[in-house]
Chain A
């Protein structure tokens, strides 16, 4: 490439940057002076401006989030919560532990276990049958409450997942023109409704505060469960409005937090 064409290539870059409004005052003046003397660069400049003007009409520039902010926050919080609950599994630690165990156990067990067994037998005489530990009523009640709350949280979390998909933008149905595909959400709603009937714990007093939300969720899930796999978007909008009016997703989020404590 000759020096002249190299220089011209540099000007072409400057002209693009001028069109993109990325030059400082002094560079800008230089580029404008060059345009006065170079017809080719003037053409490039006009074409770049026209392209950028076209780009200004791109709807993506002003796109709003397709779902309400509260939905998005809920989903991110749920993912973060799952992330903080799961502990990373350390293979290295496991490998070292196993190696130590392989070396230590065969050496320790024959030396330690027989004398201990002998001493214990001497002390207690014959082996004694162990009675099962009796749990008092209060402890039992605490366990039941914990189970009920965990079941409620899990149920709400799964329902939330289904309802958020319904509330966002479902995919177009490949089988029917101008219909949306809710087959998966409909199937999962049916499963959840069926499971709800079997979850006795959800009727427990310890989740009494969640009862109204659970009923609202159940009601909307039943609506989704009855939708066709390929459904008319108007029907989806009706369910979305119902959820929006009842602020259902927000209620699920707040209730889940309360239950988790």
Chain B
């Protein structure tokens, strides 16, 4: 019989590396989808998957055995995605000096490269640009709801936010996505 998430986390907390493979088998696709939806970059998303499970191994002892593993991993994945996004933003900013307040917009509306254009559909590229245009936490709320279908309560737990803040963030994100994707049809 397959070991439960709880058993696997217990083994990880005791430093048993063999528990990583079954845990990754079970959760890495979901972690990958979160990271990909957030970062919109295949390589970065793959790095986030690795970072997430390395962190899970490091901090397994801190996992609360009364809670589910999925949301705990989602929380790590979101934090890792935000960190990576910030690093990338800083890196770009250091190469492309911009006027104050322009960094964010530049990242959100940048033109895709010819390779990216060839590889991705127009829909995908427009969605990517629209998502990148959302503030970090709003984007996380939106991704967790619309890509992973977490409930608002779960999202509040994952992001350490109040339920009311999650609701208003989701509303603003939907409003902004609507504006940015206007005219685009699936």
Contact = CB atoms under 8 A, between A and B. Distances in A.
A172 B115 contact: yes
A67 interface: yes
Interface stretch (A70-78, A134-142, A152-160, A188-196): A70-78
Contact of A48 (B49, B114, B178): B178
Interface in A16-65: 16-17, 19-20, 22, 44, 47-48, 50-61, 63-65
Contact of A13 (B50, B115, B171): B171
B49 A65 contact: yes
Interface residues of B, number: 48
Contacts of B152: 17, 22
A17 B167 contact: yes
Contact of A60 (B28, B36, B46): B36
Contacts, number: 120
Which DSSP category, helix, strand, loop or mixed, fits chain B's interface? helix
Interface stretch (A79-87, A116-124, A239-247): A79-87
B168 interface: yes
A176 to B, nearest CB: 11
A149 interface: no
Interface stretch (B18-26, B61-69, B90-98, B104-112): B18-26
30 contacts: A12-B171, A13-B167, A16-B170, A16-B175, A48-B174, A50-B185, A51-B178, A52-B174, A53-B186, A54-B123, A54-B127, A54-B181, A54-B184, A54-B185, A55-B127, A55-B146, A60-B36, A60-B124, A63-B32, A63-B33, A64-B29, A65-B46, A65-B49, A73-B20, A76-B50, A76-B54, A76-B57, A80-B20, A80-B54, A177-B114
